[in-house]
Amino acid sequence: MRLKLQAKMDPEVNLTSLIDVVLLLLIFFMVSTSFVKESQISIRLPEAQNEAVAENAPDRIEIMITEQGTYLVNGRELVNNRPTTIRNALQRVSTGNTSLPLMISADANARHQHVVTAMDIAGRLGFTTISIATLKDPASE
């Protein structure tokens, strides 16, 4: 008996079904993914510059806020932290000159509301040059 040798056929890989499954998975994940973006406020925090700070800045008003919410205007502690007291102290120190630079420095653990209150009062009085004091990053030294 004579057997005929058949040529071996290379196996054929059909990729059509694999592509179908991958596309179906892609569609499933796209449909099931939620695209709801949480509402966020983008805040750019101030950073200290490496420039030398003037030691004696003439004619400058400084508001300091402690951790407990006590306000100090040019180093003098205010009787209370009511907005009218802060406004009266700023008017007395500035003598009506709202072009003076105003620096607000707050304790790291002070409430943000106290800083916003000081900025709001200064803005309502007409101060336009308001800066917030920052600390130099110890990692950059």
Domain ranges for the chain, please list them: 73-135
Q: 46-89, pLDDT tens digit by residue? A: 666 666 554 443 478 999 998 888 999 988 889 988 999 999 99
pLDDT confidence band for 107 (50 / 70 / 90) = confident
Tell me the C-alpha to C-alpha distance, in Å, between residue 56 and each of 15, 52, 59, 60, 96. 77, 12, 9, 9, 22
Looking at residue 57, its pLDDT comes to 39
How confident is the model over 93-103, as a mean pLDDT?
87
